[in-house]
Structure 1
Amino acid sequence: MRGIKKRSWQRLLWPLYLSCLFIVLAACGSGNTGAAGSTASGSSNSFAAKQSASNASAGASSASGTTNTGLTQNTGPNYLIKTLSVSMNVTDTRSTANDIQEWISTKDPRSTSAGVNYNQDGNNLYTISMTFAVQATLYPQVYAYLRDYNLHNGQLTNFHETVQDVSNDYVDTQSRITVYQGERDRLLGLLKQTQSASDVVTIEQRLSDVEQSLESTESHLNLLNSQVAFYNVTIQLQPLAIAEPVIPPNQPWTIWQTFHAAWTAVLGLGQVLLVILIWLLTFSVYIIPLFFLIWLFVRWRERKQSVFSRPAPAPASVSARAPMPPKPMSAPVATPTPTAPAGPVKE
């Protein structure tokens, strides 16, 4: 009986053991799943953090790039050549010219004048043209001063600025100078090592060409430096009212003035004739053959007309073609003989 009971209890405990095993295994599986989920969530959180950090850095870089682009656009190219042309109508051109010259020389001590021209338009009225070279750093102040000068005195009629970007030319010139310098150094090194006379002559000729190219390129770079460092400003001042021209009084007649005027007219006519003669002599290489061809054509045409207009020969007379028949002889007419009168003849 006891054996049967033990076997029955063992049969009842086996399902319990299996159920406990399944519970343990399910608990282990859930633990692993939770750990994996936490790990996955942690990795996803770290990835999101990294992504947000990368996005933030990208936004910062894009913002900095936008800022740099804006600064570049505001700054403009590095090497510019500017030219300013201003025209104004003022009451007193001479005093205005003096004021502008003093202001520019005071504001920019390194400025230079390229020339001043005075042209008289009337009684104490002058048209003045001035050209200055001002520093590029002080050019904006000169620009603003001339732009607003008409508010104080005068009328602004023309204000034109020309800008030329020479950055590419400047950089290219510097690169060519570097290349020429390297080529010169290389040729100098070869010249020191060469012992053959023919090679020395060839290297020296090549070195001379390189030095000439280097000098011309350096002079071009110096010109660009001067044009970039100083800008030209041209100012033209015109009077507001131009007085009527003064008519000189009539001078008394003199024989010398008349002779001088006549001689001037003779010289003018002689110059005109001489100019015409020079032109004819110059174009004689075309005129003479043309006249010769025209003369030949006229001669040929006259001969042709003379041949066609020559009169036809007159027809021969009848007597010449056939002999005339002899005229019929008429009968001789008897001439009456005189008769002596009847009667005695008186002695």
Structure 2
Amino acid sequence: MTTVRIFAATSYGSHTPMTGGRLRREHLLAGLAGRGHSVDRLTLDARPGPASGTRSLVAAVDLRIAGRIRRADVVLLADVFTAPLVPAVRHAGVPVLLDLCDSPYRLLAEAPRDTPARWAVQVFASAQLLAVMHGLVPMVGRLTYISELDAQVDRRTVRRLPPHSLVHNGIAAELFEVPLDVDDRGYIGWAADWDYPPNQDALRWFAREVATVLPESVLDRVRLFGPRDPLPSLGRARGRLRYAGFVPSLSTLYRGAALLIAPTLWGAGMKNKVLEPLAAGRPVLTTPAGVEGVPVHIASVVDVAEADPRTFARAMEAAVQAAPSPGQAARRRESVRPLTWPSAVEAMESALRAVAEERLDRQV
């Protein structure tokens, strides 16, 4: 692809270092710049959600930003909360790609509505999606998703959904260098962004229902990792759970683990917490929700247990008692070998090329 001028809008704000969206945007934009493209980045200094959506509306009427858009060959809107910029981009006549990554409708459908407050939040989110997904999204030239499942969920709901491409998340190269010998005396690790609602729900469920039926010998090996200590929010339900802090090096985190768990109850996209340990050759135990959208050849090397407290507890006990297998560790690593950040950047570059070429075809 010849060098292109990319105007990229991202919503950030108070993201933690383990936020999947932050990792995706930083690696993709840095990778595009590293391949020789010019990236003019607009960062909306607000957490993804209503705040960043409002910032996008303000940016859409800013004449200085309009000038930056007109100088670009293609516009990359890095998440759904930057969609209010679409009319301004269309007015400038510049092709635009929107990276939805996860399906907004998949996330909405799986979100719990078990309290009046949550029900109200989901009703408000539904109203927002109606305007964005049915009004703004059909105006873009192309979408990108992390999985085909996410794309198909939206395609069943939005009649005029634009063409889409798949751009996977990458896995840090260092994880493929972690020695494959698993220490069966290591800890049981759970690494997550504890500010993300699906992770908060999973932790509450685990603390209140799974931990109470786990043998103490297994529970005492569980370590929680992340930028923030989630245990105070659990109150007395924290029990014997331990927070081990934030480990900047994922290779260090996974090297010491005998098992990684991801007791996911709901969500969208593909879970980094499931894929990354596989690159290190470590066994991963999750729920059926944890492997939704994951290619079959990868899901086949993941241990999956139903989201039933006793079933998940028995699976944890069995997993830590199983003898480590170098052959299984190697198969886990090979299953995710193609999921590198350079290959993700190439996929995004191809999607940008497609949206630019589709515009040229319409002009002919």
Bigger relative contact order (CA 8 A; separation at least 6): 1
TM > 0.5: no
Relative to total residues, which structure has the larger helix share, 1 or 2?
A: 1
TM-score where L is the length of structure 1: 0.17
Q: Determine which structure has more spread, i.e. the larger CA radius of gyration.
A: 1
TM-score where L is the length of structure 2: 0.16
